[in-house]
Amino acid sequence: MTSIAPVSRTELSQRRQKLRRQRRTRFFQASWRNVAIAGFAVGALWVATLPAWVIRKPEQVTIKGNRFISEQTIRTLLPIAYPQSLLKVQPQSISDALKAKAPIANATVDRQLFPPSLTVRVQERIPIAQTASSSKASQPGLLDETGAWMPQDSYTTLNPNFKLPTLRIIGNPEQYRPNWATFYRSIRQSPVKTLEANWEDPTNLILKTELGTVQFGVYGSNFPAQLKVLDEMRRLPSRVNAGQILSIDLRNPNSPLLQMNATKTPVKLGTP
């Protein structure tokens, strides 16, 4: 067996003293650390409430990301009572107010102490189509790419120089909203420019395009293929003048029907 050397009273006393010193050292270190943290917090609070760290005028707020709404207009919508301490500025309240008062999808707020200022970054809802009144009583307004509806005056009131988008949508928003994202992506990618979409009849989507009025029937998964046939009609035989096409029936894309300006007689074609 391994023998254990006896420990003298003196050695035990020295070990106890060493342990006590270590405990005192750890205690003082923790105490100073807590004091330093508390002092930093108090100092930060004191600095933030100094008169120098106050937003005194709208010009101390920088607006970024805006396209349709001017910086000056957005500043007037901010829920800030000048002068206001930077510490009392509530970023979430500013974001909520902008989204409620303007066509803004999101807004973030950053504080800056040197010099005291705010930076507000906005993400506007970009209007890509205007909606028109119809027998379905859809209210005039604007649509963004996601299909979110906005009243026209949310732009025209805030920006008198705002120009309405050229694409026009007719019909009840409840009719086309579920398909809006895929529909808009298809017509945006198509070489044939679409000027108007009429969704009033759920059994027959009608587009006004640069090639004329086109009937598509019930909107569905074959819509991109129908648009492809429409584009191929630019290369119809010479006996058909694309400029004389009054309307196009693509409800059966394998057998398109053309209504000509001159004859008013439907012309049946095979697949182009």
Domains and CATH numbers, the chain: 52-124 (3.10.20.310), 129-268 (3.40.50.11690)
Report the percent of the chain where pLDDT is more than 70.
Answer: 76
Query: What is the rounded distance in angstroms from the CA atom of residue 198 to the CA atom of residue 210?
Result: 15
- Selected residue with higher pLDDT from 137 and 17: 17
What's the rounded mean pLDDT across residues 133-161?
A: 79
Residue 1 has pLDDT above 50, yes or no: no
Describe the strand order of the beta sheet including 104-112 as a list of residue ranges: 61-64, 117-124, 104-112
Contact (CB, 8 A) for 116 and 60: yes
Q: Which amino acid is at 94?
A: I
In the predicted model, what is the mean pLDDT of the chain? 83
Name which residue leads in pLDDT, 96 or 261: 96
Q: What is the pLDDT of residue 241?
A: 67
pLDDT at 234: 76
What pLDDT is recorded for position 264? 56
Least trusted range by pLDDT, from 17-21, 110-114, 173-177 = 17-21
Residues 6+ apart with CB under 8 A from 250: 214, 215, 216, 217, 226, 229, 230, 256
Q: Categorize the per-residue pLDDT at 106 as very low, low, confident or very high, splitting at 50, 70 and 90.
A: very high
The Cβ-side half-sphere exposure at 87, using a 13 Å CA radius, reads 12
pLDDT of residue 268: 61
Q: Residue 193 carries which DSSP code?
A: P
pLDDT at 47: 54
Residue 135's pLDDT band (boundaries 50, 70, 90)? Answer: very low
pLDDT digits (tens, 9 = 90+) for 163-214: 999 999 998 888 888 999 999 999 999 999 999 999 999 999 999 998 889 9
Residue 136 binned pLDDT confidence (cut-offs 50, 70, 90): very low
pLDDT at 50: 53
HSE-up (13 A, CA, CB side) for residue 109: 23
Q: What is the pLDDT of residues 37-91, one digit of tens each?
A: 765 555 555 554 555 688 999 999 999 999 999 999 999 999 999 999 888 899 9
Q: What's the pLDDT score for residue 271?
A: 47
